[in-house]
Amino acid sequence: MKLTTLIGEPWADYGLIDSGNGRKLERYGRFRFVRPEPQAMWAPQSDDWKADAEFVPGADEDGGGRWHYTGQVPRDGWPLHWDAVTFTAQTTPFRHLGFFPDMAPVWTWMRERVANKADAECLNLFGYTGVGTLAMASQGVKMVHVDASKKSVEAAKGNALLSGLADAPIRWMIDDAAKFAAREVRRGRRYDGILLDPPKYGRGPGGEVWKLEEGLPGLIADCRHLLDAESRFLFLTVYAVRMSALAIGELLNQALGDLGGTIEAGELAVREEARGLALPTAIWARWSR
């Protein structure tokens, strides 16, 4: 199996400025933020970091903490752009800012997979605030966007409005992703591509409990039934778990190997502007044809 690193490069509205000593300094539009980053084990280029806010984690290693502000950061968010997509960045209680910039090379890769397929339709499970959905919809791809959080889906709809895509062919679903996928299998549905970004732990709108290690194999099996001989891709990302890229690559190989095509796995990373080093952020596996 081919192991690859996908590196997100800086763009106009986002960049990893510097990193080290377990922290990272990033720019999101005109604002700068410091956040914890355990993978940044090296020394930073500069010890003089000027930021508008810093997320200070709590004692709970699985989450918690709060933002400390020194600048005039709009608490209700501010607009950012990636290609033709406009979306709202915002400080959240979960230490991130409403989207995942390391996914930018994934958005580009998915677009390329269906660029020459008329009437392509793709599924975004655990779709969050919808930047990945809108990256595809802006290219004319029909999308089904699924997230258990009503707040996240409403934020995604707001981003669609900002992007001029309010009338794009997107089905917005507030639903448990695993249950939705299983129902789609029973309905005999199929997709040209599937993006999965499952959390380590979560709850569905009906209180359904999601645990990644327990739920992922069954979800991948259902996704296999939503792909056929005309499908183009499945992309899986995994954050913040003790799991290897090779393991999830082999999971896809077992579940999707009969489709032919290529199975790959590796790491996501972001390019630091100061020195050009790559800061790892997540692991991934993908199938494509």
Would you list the domain boundaries of the chain? 11-76, 80-89+94-288
The count of C-alpha atoms lying within 13 angstroms of the C-alpha of 58, restricted to the half-sphere facing its C-beta, is 9
Q: Phi, psi at residue 252, to the nearest 5°?
A: -65, -40
Asked whether 213 and 251 are in contact (CB, 8 A), the reply is no
Tens digit of each residue's pLDDT (9 = 90 or more) over 29-76: 999 999 999 999 999 999 899 999 999 998 765 567 999 999 999 999
**CATH number, span 80-89+94-288:** 3.40.50.150
Q: Phi, psi at residue 238, to the nearest 5°?
A: -135, 125
Strand partners of residue 271:
278
Residue closest to 281 by CA, chosen among 30, 35, 47, 33: 35
pLDDT tens digits for the chain (289 residues)? 778 999 999 999 999 999 999 999 999 999 999 999 999 999 999 989 999 999 999 876 556 799 999 999 999 999 999 999 999 999 999 899 999 999 999 999 999 999 999 999 999 999 999 999 999 999 999 999 999 999 999 999 999 999 999 999 999 999 999 999 999 999 999 999 999 999 888 887 888 887 888 999 999 999 999 999 999 999 999 987 778 999 999 999 999 999 999 999 999 999 999 899 999 999 999 999 9
Sign of CA dihedral 237, 108, 33, 128: negative
Residue closest to 148 by CA, chosen among 219, 218, 207, 223: 207
- The Cβ of residue 218 has, within 10 Å, a number of other Cβ atoms equal to 12
- For the domain made up of 11-76, give the CATH fold: Immunoglobulin-like (2.60.40)
Alpha carbon distances (Å) from 81 to 12, 88, 193, 202: 8, 9, 24, 28
Asked whether 174 and 150 are in contact (CB, 8 A), the reply is yes
DSSP 8-state class, residue 138:
T
Asked whether 91 and 99 are in contact (CB, 8 A), the reply is no
Can you give the pTM of this predicted structure? 0.94
Sign of CA dihedral 67, 154, 198, 205: positive
